[in-house]
Structure 1
Amino acid sequence: MVRVHPDSPISGPLVSWGNAWLAGHTGLDAAVDRVERAGGPQIVAEPGAERPLRAVLAELRVEGMTALRLALPAAGDPLGLTGPAAFTMAAVDAGQAVTAVLPGRCVGLVPAPDRRGSSYAGIRWTAMDADPAPPDVPALAEAEHALTGAMRAAAEALAGVDGPPAGRPRLGGDEGLAPGYPARAHRVAALAARLAAVLAAAGERGVTSRQLATSGAALRELDRAVRRARVAAHNAVLEPRHAAGER
Structure 2
Amino acid sequence: MLTEPRSGRLAAWGNALLAGLVPPDDAVQRIVGDDALHRVDGLPGESGPVGLSLALGRLRGLGAAGFRVALPVPGHPLGLSGPPEFNTRALASEEAVLVPGAALGLVPEVSEAGPEGDVHVEVVWHCLPVREAPPADVPSLGEAERELAEALRDATELLSRLDLAGAGPAAQAALEAYRARAERDREVLAPGYPPRAARVLELAQRVSALVAIARGPGAAGGGGGGGFAGAEHGAAVSASQMAVREEALRPVERTARRAQVAAYNACVEERERG
TM-score (norm 1): 0.86
Shift of 1:115: 4.3
User: Is 2:151–2:207's contact at 8 Å kept on the other side of the alignment?
Assistant: no
The superposition leaves residues 92-143 of structure 1 with CA deviations (integer Å, 9 ceiling, x where unpaired) of 01000001122xx411100011347777421111111111112131111101
Instruction: State the secondary structure of the residue aligned to 1:150.
Output: helix
Aligned to 1:186: 198
TM-score (norm 2): 0.78
Gaps of 5+ in 1: 1-5
Q: How does 1:1-247 map to 2 (within 5 A)?
A: 8-46=4-42, 48-102=47-101, 105-115=102-112, 120-136=120-136, 137-162=138-163, 163-165=166-168, 166-167=171-172, 168-171=175-178, 176-202=188-214, 203=216, 204-207=231-234, 208=237, 209-240=239-270
Shift of 1:40: 2.8
Shift of 1:214: 4.1
Q: Figure out how many residues of one structure are paired with residues of the other and give that number.
A: 237
User: Is 2:151–2:252's contact at 8 Å kept on the other side of the alignment?
Assistant: yes
Instruction: State the secondary structure of the residue aligned to 1:39.
Output: coil
CA distance 1:226–1:169, shift in 2 (3 Å):
farther
Instruction: State the secondary structure of the residue aligned to 2:31.
Output: helix
Alpha-carbon distance in 1 for matches of 2:113, 2:246: 39
Alpha-carbon distance in 2 for matches of 1:193, 1:12: 12
Shift of 1:53: 1.4
Gaps of 5+ in 2: 217-230
Instruction: State the secondary structure of the residue aligned to 1:42.
Output: strand
User: Is 2:35–2:120's contact at 8 Å kept on the other side of the alignment?
Assistant: no
Give the letter aligned to residue 89 of structure 2.
A
Q: Percent same amino acid at aligned positions?
A: 40
User: Is 1:169–1:201's contact at 8 Å kept on the other side of the alignment?
Assistant: no
Instruction: State the secondary structure of the residue aligned to 1:110.
Output: strand
The superposition leaves residues 178-219 of structure 1 with CA deviations (integer Å, 9 ceiling, x where unpaired) of 111111100011111122222222222315244434433331
Runs of 4+ residues over 4 Å off in structure 1: 115-120, 172-175
Alpha-carbon distance in 1 for matches of 2:261, 2:90: 14
Bigger strand fraction: 1
Alpha-carbon distance in 2 for matches of 1:113, 1:161: 34
Bigger helix fraction: 2
